[in-house]
Chain A
Amino acid sequence: MTQPSKSQHNTTPQRPPDKAGPSTPESAKKEQVLEQALEQALEQALEISEARHSAVVNSMVDAVVTIDERGVIESFNPAAERTFGYLSPEMVGQNVSLLMSDTHRVQHDSYLKNHYRSGEKRVLGQIRELDAQRKDGSIFPIELAVTDLCIPGKRRFSAIIRDISGRREIERMKEEFVSTVSHELRTPLTAIRGSLGLVTGGVFGELPEKISALLQIANNNIERLLFLINDLLDMEKIESGIMDFVFQPQAVMPIVEKSVITYSGYAEQHNVRFEITGRLDAACINADAERLMQVMSNLLSNAAKFSPTNATVTISVARHEGQIRISVHDSGPGIPTDFHPKIFDKFTQANSSNTRQPGGTGLGLSIVRAIVHKHGGQISFVTGANIGTTFHVDLPEHHT
C-alpha cells in the first residue's frame, strides 16, 4: 500500500529536464498541491502501517522489547508489562539490563560492548533460555529471541521474550510423576512377583499340576505387566527429556555380540537361532551401550517372535552410506502394508492373529526409534511376504 505513493514521491525531484523549465505561477501551485497530497498519502500510509504493526505487537502474547545499541529501551509492549510488572513509561529510556538476573546483567553489558565493536553475533537469530527478573525482584526462566532491526544508520535490537516458568513447572511435575509411578507401581508388583516366584519355584514343595499351571499364568502376566510399566516409564522419560544418555566412543561389535548372547533366551523361547553374519570389527560409534542393548533387545525379540520355527534370525553390521548399519533380519511373514506408516507409533501392533506369540506392549519400536534418534541415527525397515523383515539401524561412525 505504501509502495505506489512512495515511488511517486521519490521521482518528483528527478523529472526529465524538458519539463523542468521555468514554471508559471499556476503550474507551481499545481505542483505544490500535488506534493502536499503525496505527502499526506505517505503519512497516511505510514500511519496505517504503524497502526498495523503496533496492533500486532500490542496483542502479542510474548513480551517484545526494542533497544538501541547501548541497551536503552525504546519500546515495551503490553505483554512485556504483564511479564515483568513494569509499565511502559517506566521502562522506556531505562537500560534493558534492569530486566535481567544479576549474573546475566554483567554478561549483557560486556556483550553489548563487544557486539558493537566486533560485530560478534552470539545471540542473534537463536532462541536461548535464561533467567530474568521482575519488578518485584523475583527471578523467572525465559526464552529469548533477539533480532537485528535494519534501520539505516542505527543499530536496533528487538527482543521477543516468553515466560517459561509454566513449562518448567510441568517438566518438574512430569519428572515427579515418573518417579512416583515407578515406585508405587513396582512395590506391589515386586511383592506379587516375589510370592508367586517362591511358590512356583518349588520352595515349599511340589504343587498339584492344575494349581501350578494357574500360578504360572499369574506369574507370566506379572512379568508382562512389569514390561509394560518399564516401557511406559521409558517412553515418558524419553519424551520429557529426563532419560539420561551416557555417550561413549566404543566399538560396535561388542555391543551387538553381547546383545545376541544376552537375549539368546528369546531365540530358545521361540525355537529359532540368532546368527551374526556380517562384522565390522574396527568400527566405532559414539553410543550409550545400555540404551543400544535396549534397541537390540526389542529388535531381536520381535524377530524371534515373528520367525517360523527352526528359522535363523541374522544380525549383521556393515557400512552403509558412510554410516554404521546394524541389521536384524527375520524370515517371518512380513509386516502388513497398511501397518507400515504406524509401525513406530505408540501402542500399535499389527493384527497379532498371524503371529505365534501375541503380547508385547506396542511401545517397543517407538522407544527403539527414540533411542536411535538420540544417537543421531535413523531406523528403517524392508519387509515383504516372501523376504521376511529386516530392520536397519544406521548410526554415525565415530572416527578417532
Chain B
Amino acid sequence: MDSHELQRILYVEDEPDIRAVAQIALEVVGGFILNVTASGEEALTTAEAFAPDLILLDVMMPGMDGPSTLLALREIPGLANTAAMFMTAKAQPQEIEHFKSLGAIDVIAKPFDPMTLSDQVRAIWQQHRG
C-alpha cells in the first residue's frame, strides 16, 4: 500500500450522468482502474474485494450520504486508512475543513474540469503521501 502509484479508485456517485463523465475522465484521460458504484450501500458490498488505493465520494446522496459511507467503509479492516476524497459543490474553505475533519485528505470542487480531474486527484494523492 505504500510505494506504488495511485491506480485503483473506488468511486461512489448517485447521479448517473456525472458518474459517466467522471468515469471517462478518470479511466480514459487518467488511466486509472475504477470500481464505480451508485450508492454507499453498493460500495460497501464491493469495496473490500476491490482493495482501492483511493476512495472518491460524492457528498449528497439519497440513503447513505458521502460522510456516512466513508464512516462505514472505515469499518472494513483493509480500508481503515485508505485515502479518501469528497467531490462536492460545497467547497468553501470552512466546508473543506469540515470534510477533512471527517477523514478526507481533500475535496474536489464540483463542477470539476474533466480534462484535469485525474491530474488533480493524482496531485492531491501524492501530496498526501508526502
Q: Which of A58-66, A196-204, A356-364, A368-376 participates in binding chain B?
A: A196-204
The answer, yes or no, to whether B123 is at the interface (CB within 8 Å) is: no
Q: Chain B residues with Cβ under 8 A from A188's Cβ?
A: 17
Q: How far is the CA of A391 from the CA of B60 in the complex (A)?
A: 40
The answer, yes or no, to whether B112 is at the interface (CB within 8 Å) is: yes
Q: Which of A186, A195, A203, A244 contacts B110 (CB 8 A)?
A: A186
Q: Which of A186, A244, A246, A290 contacts B111 (CB 8 A)?
A: A186
Closest chain B CB from A62 CB (angstroms):
36
> Would you call A194 and B89 a contact (CB within 8 A)?
no
> Would you call A189 and B93 a contact (CB within 8 A)?
no
The answer, yes or no, to whether B29 is at the interface (CB within 8 Å) is: yes
> Would you call B94 and A198 a contact (CB within 8 A)?
no
Closest to A179 in B: B90
Q: Chain B residues with Cβ under 8 A from A189's Cβ?
A: 111
Closest chain A CB from B85 CB (angstroms):
16
Contacts A183-B60, A186-B110, A201-B114 given; indicate if A191 touches B28 (C-beta within 8 A). no
Q: Chain B residues with Cβ under 8 A from A186's Cβ?
A: 89, 110-111
- Taking CB atoms and an 8 Å cut-off, the chain B residues in 12-49 that contact chain A are 15, 17-18, 20-22, 24-25, 28-29
> Would you call B15 and A191 a contact (CB within 8 A)?
yes
Q: How far is the CA of A81 from the CA of B22 in the complex (A)?
A: 60
Q: Chain A residues with Cβ under 8 A from B93's Cβ?
A: 246, 290
Q: Chain A residues with Cβ under 8 A from B64's Cβ?
A: none
Q: How far is the CA of A188 from the CA of B22 in the complex (A)?
A: 13
Q: How far is the CA of A318 from the CA of B57 in the complex (A)?
A: 46
Contacts A182-B89, A183-B89, A246-B94 given; indicate if A198 touches B24 (C-beta within 8 A). yes
Q: Which of B22, B92, B94 contacts A194 (CB 8 A)?
A: B22
Contacts A187-B15, A246-B94 given; indicate if A198 touches B111 (C-beta within 8 A). no
Count class of interface residues, chain A:
10 to 19
Closest chain A CB from B91 CB (angstroms):
11
Contacts A182-B89, A183-B60, A186-B89 given; indicate if A198 touches B29 (C-beta within 8 A). yes
Count class of interface residues, chain B:
20 to 34
Contacts A183-B89, A246-B94 given; indicate if A203 touches B111 (C-beta within 8 A). no
For the residues of A in contact with B, the DSSP-based class is helix
The answer, yes or no, to whether B115 is at the interface (CB within 8 Å) is: yes
* Best-buried of A186, A187, A193 by chain B (most CB within 10 Å): A187
Q: How far is the CA of A79 from the CA of B29 in the complex (A)?
A: 67
Q: How far is the CA of A197 from the CA of B18 in the complex (A)?
A: 12
Q: Chain B residues with Cβ under 8 A from A182's Cβ?
A: 89-90
Q: Which of B28, B60, B92, B111 contacts A190 (CB 8 A)?
A: B111
Closest to A190 in B: B111
Q: Chain B residues with Cβ under 8 A from A198's Cβ?
A: 21, 24-25, 28-29, 114-115
Q: How far is the CA of A60 from the CA of B62 in the complex (A)?
A: 48
The answer, yes or no, to whether A226 is at the interface (CB within 8 Å) is: yes
Q: Chain A residues with Cβ under 8 A from B29's Cβ?
A: 198, 201, 203
- Taking CB atoms and an 8 Å cut-off, the chain A residues in 179-221 that contact chain B are 182-183, 186-191, 193-195, 197-198, 201, 203
> Would you call B110 and A190 a contact (CB within 8 A)?
yes
Contacts A244-B94, A290-B93 given; indicate if A194 touches B15 (C-beta within 8 A). no
Minimum-distance CB pairs A-B, first 9: A194-B21, A191-B17, A190-B111, A201-B115, A197-B114, A194-B114, A198-B114, A186-B89, A193-B111
16 A-B pairs (CB sep. < 8 Å): A182-B90, A183-B89, A186-B89, A186-B110, A191-B17, A191-B21, A193-B111, A193-B114, A194-B21, A194-B22, A194-B112, A198-B114, A203-B24, A203-B29, A226-B111, A244-B94
